[in-house]
Amino acid sequence: MGRLGLVIADLDAEYIRNFEKYLVANYPGRFDLAAFSSVHALQDFLESKSHADIILVDSRMYDESKTCYDRGLVLLLTESRPGKQCPGKAAGQVMKYQHVDRLISEVLGLYSANTGSGRPVHGRRKTCIVSVASPAGGTGKSSIAAGCSILCAGRGLKTFFLCLESVPSTDRFFRGESDQSFSNVIFHLKGSGSLWLKLESARCHDPRTSVHFFKSPECILEMNEFDEKDAARLISEFRSCCAYDMVFVDLSSGLNSINAEVMRLSDVILLVLTRDAVVESKTGVFTKGLDLLDSRWKSALPERIIPLLNLSPAFDGDGPVCGYSPAAVIADHSNKSSNSPDDCVVNDVSFLADLNGVVEQILAGRSAAADSVEGGGSVA
């Protein structure tokens, strides 16, 4: 589980410094990084036989006649959109001026595709998996999952929003550039071998919120191919690679085999409820299902549930909801919902303020769990 040796070289010294700072802050423990703005210093390093899996080099600095470039996968940094042809021994081209997260995703994707390596690049973060579930549709579950993701990212935590709904709603909340989508994720999950580099290359980064996510599948019917084994492998991969602080999983409403498996592997389960006769009826069935699963797994599922009362009118008082005592009451902001990320309920300050207490409760539990485990997450 060694780190990937990443060499980056560019004539722009300030670009190199900023790139290096970002990687150290946001990808701790995942790369052995060497950065150069001098051609001679770069060649001296490569000729010294130092660790170099990936050589990301400014196209103006690259000299294909030098044998030292045989030591790693050569990728060229370009200022314009990459062309189809790569000079010399270069395996690909990456556009220099884009968000670093997107750049790293492209680099890891090219590395995996050209070397056949799925070697995991583990980080140092202790990943907390939070499932967001609801017995019925229309409770605002997805908005709560997205809102909590935005709040955690705003606190400086590296956060992933993972939508596993049968009809994904990711595009309502987040935007990002990627040639891949959850369709690629499903394809990779069905394969064998190491998975993480392929997942990293498929992710998106929302520059407005700093939340990471997968784009919705190209065809909605592809979600029918995603099963509980895929879900278990995906969640386990997020946890074992320690690349994110928080992963919020937006589940389909109700209780099915995928939801059950994800909740079993989660640290926290946010159960979103409303004062509604249909929700109340379905909550009874949902709770009986959870009790049955808990008796089978002995996994303390009820102890991980944080019930939330959502879409609550301003006059709503205290008291149980569908048999649960809500840990937080979230006012009805549904009239502000929109299909546009720029005009969505998750951009409403009062909605996020209602969610802030929920996030604080999750993070308090995460800190307590981390304190009880000596050493924390794995170090690559």
Domain boundary among 115, 148, 180: 115
Shared domain check, 111 and 50: yes
183 and 320 in a single domain? The answer is yes
Asked if residue 380 is part of any domain, the answer here is no
Residue ending a domain, choose from 115, 141, 165: 115
| Residue 311 belongs to a domain | yes
The span from the CA of 153 to the CA of 167, in Å, is 25
Domain-located, residue 344:
yes
Are 55 and 189 within one domain?
no
Together in a domain, 62 and 102: yes
Same-domain status, 78 and 15: yes
pLDDT exceeds 60 at position 372: no
Report yes or no on 210 lying in a domain. yes
pLDDT in tens, 162-202: 999 999 999 999 999 888 999 999 999 998 777 888 898 89
Q: Same domain, yes or no, for 172 and 309?
A: yes
CATH no. for residue 286?
A: 3.40.50.300
214 plus 151 within the same structural domain: yes
Domain boundary residue among 115, 137, 170? 115
Q: What is the pTM of this model?
A: 0.79
Any idea which of 14-28, 220-234, 323-337 has the lowest mean pLDDT? Answer: 323-337
Question: Structural domain tally of the chain?
Answer: 2
- Please report whether residue 120 resides in a domain: no
Residues 366 and 313 in one domain: yes
Domain hosting 263: range is 128-372
Residue 378 lies in a domain: no
State whether 102 and 183 are in the same domain. Answer: no
Tens of pLDDT, residue by residue over 117-151, are 655 556 678 999 999 999 999 999 999 999 999 99
Higher pLDDT, 267 or 332: 267
The answer to whether residue 169 sits within a structural domain is yes
Do 74 and 171 have their domain in common?
no
Tell me which of 120 and 271 has the higher pLDDT: 271
Q: Are residues 138 and 215 in the same domain?
A: yes
**Residue 260 falls inside a structural domain:** yes
Question: Do 105 and 162 lie in a common domain?
Answer: no
